[in-house]
Amino acid sequence: MAPRLEESFDFSLSLGTDIETATALAEIPSRRGLILFANAENRPIQMLMCADLRRSARARLLTRPDLPVRKADIAAVCTRVYYSPIDAEFACQIAYNRLCRTLFADSFEGFVSLPKLYFVRVEKRPKLAFFNVSEKYEIHDLCFGPFVSRKNANFFAEILNASFDLCRNPECLSAGRFESCPYYQMKTCLGPCLNSSQMAGYTQNLEDAIDAASGNCRQVINRKQNQMRLASLNLEFEKARHIRDQIEQLNNLDKPDFQYIHPLPRFCMLHIDRLKSSRKKPKWVAFILRAFAFTEIHFEAATVDMVINALAQEPCQTTPPEQDYFPTVGLFLHRSRRPGLWMDCSKSDPAFRESLLGWLQASSADSQPAQ
């Protein structure tokens, strides 16, 4: 049973004549938030996520007959308005997703447009394990992401499989036609699925690939460079050339498309946005975004250590994440212009506190803090 609208929003007001409506709408603040228009039976007509609640309400309900109307006129049937001011854009999107799924469950996809995320996971087959693209992820999986396109995910998986001589032909592996694999025939794969003596080397390659994908790519490249020099000294030029090609592949992991790709259990982003407050005493809201849940903290400059301490705590997640949460993170993470501050906290940074305080000090002088 859907909750009552009064329980889902912070404020509400009733509408009367045109003059009374204009007076009533003046009570709505000019702030970001969610607004819902309801009819006489208190059923939802339309819900909006908007940057200015008052302006959006006036645009929908105070129509001018001398101007053409491009959208459906709801002024004649709307008798009540519900709204919730939410200053942070990320929090507004999360609240909008939840309410849409609650109030408009049958037509949810038409209200919320979120990117489809992709992940690269270690696919464990009976014979061999390799990196494969997936649209699903589990909390305890060895999984990397999020990717906003299948193309990027495929490229990431191909880099790892090719750079560490992992299986690149799962079709032959599944069908059991090991000897017909073109990579084995071209001698670019030692065929551990056929020769068990090669399995130890394959397992080591898989561990190195996981190490590179987990953020230690530079150390792995250094090891491969040493292997390439040793092969050259031993006059194994074909092997040295093969390792050189692998190093060139691994250098692609430094591309901006993979900037925020991490093992999901270690994924951690800090997002801070400015709340509506005075310049003398500015207030912010911080979101610690992990792969499976987020923490919301309201703070001031004097209490910034609350955020730092929360980041240092080990996450404890025993329930599945909300269905729309991680796609919402992906929506903001890959935008060209993002609100507020976004910091990758997947790795420890000794200068993190100073960087954060510097950003807060700079943004406190602006009404609209920018990254």
203-251 confidence digits (pLDDT tens): 999 999 999 999 899 999 999 999 999 999 999 998 899 999 999 999 9
Cβ atoms of residues 90 and 118 within 8 Å = no
> How do residues 86-130 score in pLDDT, each as one tens digit?
999 999 999 999 898 888 877 777 778 888 899 999 988 878 889
- 284 - beta bridge partners? 274, 299
Average pLDDT over residues 122-142: 84
Lowest-pLDDT range, 91-95, 104-108, 131-135, 343-347? 104-108
Cβ atoms of residues 283 and 264 within 8 Å = no
Mean pLDDT of the chain: 86
Q: Is the pLDDT of residue 149 over 50?
A: yes
CA dist list (Å): 301 to 281, 361, 362, 370: 9, 8, 12, 17
Q: Is the pLDDT of residue 275 over 60?
A: yes
Could you tell me which residues come within 8 angstroms of residue 196 by beta carbon, excluding any fewer than 6 positions away? none
DSSP 118: E
pLDDT interval class at 320 (50, 70, 90): low
CATH architecture observed for domain 5-85: 3-Layer(aba) Sandwich (3.40)
Query: For residues 108 and 331, what is the distance between their CA atoms, to the nearest angstrom?
Result: 17
Cβ atoms of residues 166 and 128 within 8 Å = yes
Cβ atoms of residues 50 and 95 within 8 Å = no
Residues of the chain with CATH 3.40.1440: 5-85
Query: For residues 145 and 262, what is the distance between their CA atoms, to the nearest angstrom?
Result: 6
Helix (H, G, I), strand (E, B) or coil at 78: coil
Q: Is the pLDDT of residue 176 over 70?
A: yes
> How do residues 280-303 score in pLDDT, each as one tens digit?
788 999 999 998 888 999 998 889
The H-assigned helical ranges of 140-290 are: 150-163, 170-175, 182-185, 199-211, 217-233, 237-250
pLDDT at 66: 55
Handedness of CA 94, 99, 105, 108 (dihedral sign): negative
